[in-house]
């Protein structure tokens, strides 16, 4: 009756047994030793300490009546904790068969299940396994939910933010800049004659060039900035607390870094250049992220017409 670790090579799940009686501890260790790796605490205070030090604990089984901190108090502390891990920890309480007051209180305090003393080995293992598996399934669901949410805002080629994320973040950033009268700029960048790179060296080389540009943009930006690929060979940066001058300086640094980059395809060094348009909230006539990007796009168009490999502010 093993709790079926998802891979054969995985170590046994870690279980914390909280019990002040040595006899019960010895008995439970014998029952559970083959199925779980056991940690032991003799009261709630010790249990909390062990929980804090061992984030990989998968399940807790606790006695109710213990010195220093009871099982009830431990439950309350676990359910009130900040970290999602402890908060959602499966906790099974041990009570005596006749003690339904303790049992009901434990449920009110957030226990997942109970088992009555004297403890039946088969029932103990079965109940623990149910809750261990359930908790594991919840963890997996939460992980895939997070991965999906990330996917929805990530550009699959460059791993930058995608167009959708740029507009989501941009909408929030415009609201903040308006409310706090703070600086906000956007920088729109388009690779020059990118079609030629594709046509001459192939689509894979074109993809590599996109990655090179993406990495330069990431290197040159701050963590507060949103760096996005918003079209085929078009990138946009959302720059909070950045004024027109700061944005122009950054744009020129990016332009020259990309121009200097030695992009190698086979045995050739292929020059890449970009054109950039910028716009600043509160300075340019724009009330929304769409309008701000529109201003930057008009300037990008001017930069292209003026001969490319340049910025227009």
Which segment (64-72, 94-102, 127-135, 256-264) binds Mg ion by CB under 5 A?
A: 64-72
**Residue 36 site contact among ligand GH3, Mg ion, none (CB < 5 to 8 Å, cut-off depends on kind):** none
Nearest approach in angstroms of CB 159 to ligand GH3 is 13
Only one residue has tokens 């309480």, namely: 93
| Residue 195 contacts ligand GH3 per CB under 6 A | yes
In the numeric block, which tokens belong to residue 268?
């050739």
Query: What's the burial of 108, exposed, middle or buried (CB within 10 Å: 0-12/13-18/19+)?
Result: exposed
| Residue 235 contacts Mg ion per CB under 5 A | no
Start-to-end C-alpha separation, the chain: 69
Q: Which of 2, 30, 178, 203 binds ligand GH3 (CB under 6 A)?
A: 203
**Residue 198 site contact among ligand GH3, Mg ion, none (CB < 5 to 8 Å, cut-off depends on kind):** ligand GH3
Pick the catalytic residue: 168, 233, 234, 252?
A: 233
Q: Is 233 a catalytic residue?
A: yes
In the numeric block, which tokens belong to residue 35?
């199925």
Backbone φ, ψ for residue 20 (5° rounding): -90, -20
Peptide bond into 118 cis (omega under 30): yes
Q: Which of 191, 227, 239, 278 binds ligand GH3 (CB under 6 A)?
A: 191
Nearest approach in angstroms of CB 21 to Mg ion is 5
**Residue 284 site contact among ligand GH3, Mg ion, none (CB < 5 to 8 Å, cut-off depends on kind):** none
Nearest approach in angstroms of CB 63 to Mg ion is 4
Nearest approach in angstroms of CB 17 to Mg ion is 12
Q: What would the DSSP string read from start to end of 181-241?
A: T--EEEEEEEETTHHHHHHHH-HHHHHHHHHHHHHHHHHHS-TTSEEEEEETTEEEEEEET
Residue pair 216/258 in contact (Cβ under 8 Å)? The answer is yes
Give the footprint of ligand GH3 on this chain (CB under 6 A). 157, 190-195, 198, 203, 206-207, 210, 232-233, 304, 308
Residues annotated as part of the active site: 233
């Amino acid at each position: 009756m093993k709790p079926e670790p998802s891979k054969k090579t995985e170590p046994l799940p870690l279980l914390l047994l909280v019990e002040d009686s040595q006899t019960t501890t010895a008995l439970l260790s014998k029952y559970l030793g083959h199925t779980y790796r056991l940690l032991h605490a003799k009261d709630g205070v010790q249990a909390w300490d062990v929980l804090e030090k061992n984030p990989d604990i998968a399940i807790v089984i606790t006695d109710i009546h213990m010195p220093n901190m009871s099982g009830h108090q431990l439950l309350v502390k676990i359910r009130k904790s900040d970290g999602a891990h402890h908060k959602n920890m499966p906790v099974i309480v041990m009570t005596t068969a006749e003690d339904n007051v303790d049992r009901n209180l434990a449920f009110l305090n957030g226990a997942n299940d109970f088992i009555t003393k004297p403890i039946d080995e088969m029932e103990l293992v079965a109940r623990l396994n149910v809750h261990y598996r359930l908790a594991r399934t919840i963890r997996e669901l939460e992980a895939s939910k997070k991965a999906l949410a990330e996917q929805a805002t990530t550009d699959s080629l460059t791993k930058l933010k995608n167009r959708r994320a740029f507009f989501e973040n941009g909408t929030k950033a415009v609201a903040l800049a308006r409310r706090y009268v703070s600086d906000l700029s956007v920088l729109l960048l388009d690779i020059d004659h990118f079609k030629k790179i594709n046509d001459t060296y192939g689509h894979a080389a074109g993809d590599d060039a996109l990655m090179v540009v993406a990495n330069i943009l990431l290197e040159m930006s701050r963590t507060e900035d949103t760096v996005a690929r918003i079209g085929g060979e078009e990138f946009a940066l959302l720059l909070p607390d950045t004024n027109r001058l700061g944005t122009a300086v950054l744009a020129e640094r990016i332009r020259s870094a990309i121009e200097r980059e030695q992009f190698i395809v086979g045995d050739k060094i292929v020059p890449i250049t970009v054109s950039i348009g910028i716009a600043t909230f509160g300075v340019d006539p724009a009330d929304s992220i769409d309008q701000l990007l529109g201003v930057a796009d008009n300037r990008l168009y001017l930069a292209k017409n003026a001969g490319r490999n340049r910025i227009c502010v």
